[in-house]
A and B are shown apart, each in its own frame.
Chain A
Amino acid sequence: MRIIINREKCIGAGNCVMSAPAVFTQDDDEGLVIVLDPNPSDDLADAVAEAMELCPGKVISTE
């Protein structure tokens, strides 16, 4: 699984960080998403799916 983000659309709501803290964090200057782990292992698939579902800006996708 590879994480793709459209950072321009991020509103810094932080839901992705709550769902998958090993994969996402936020920068200190604007609170926007940063991908910590662009190729998360399969055991993180549920957490990533939750992050995608809860992201209000439809910022996150996977391939």
Chain B
Amino acid sequence: MHELKVTEDILRIANEEGEACQAKRVTDIYLTIGKLSSVVDDSVQFYWDYISQGTICEGAILHFNRPPALLRCRQCGEIITLKDELAPCSECHSFDLEVISGDEMQVDQIEIEKD
């Protein structure tokens, strides 16, 4: 899908934050990308290797945390993990479920070197 845009944004954030702490180099970047955001890790990595060149993030290792989506049953309140896309509530078998997490995309932490 639009991994290039996602990767460009990761680079922008990591460069900004790295520069703000006077980093010489950003060595590691920790990402949380929920399973519901249809982003493919390998494509992000592919773009990353190109677009990070010549920045303080060049060569930084991307760490992907891909938490599963959580659904809350509107009937009984049970919270279930989304496995099969269309499985009903494991408690009461209702399909009246709302997504409560799984589409988050964020940069959590960076690891930097100052000298």
Chain B associates with chain A: no
What residues make up the interface of A, taking CB atoms closer than 8 Å to B?
none
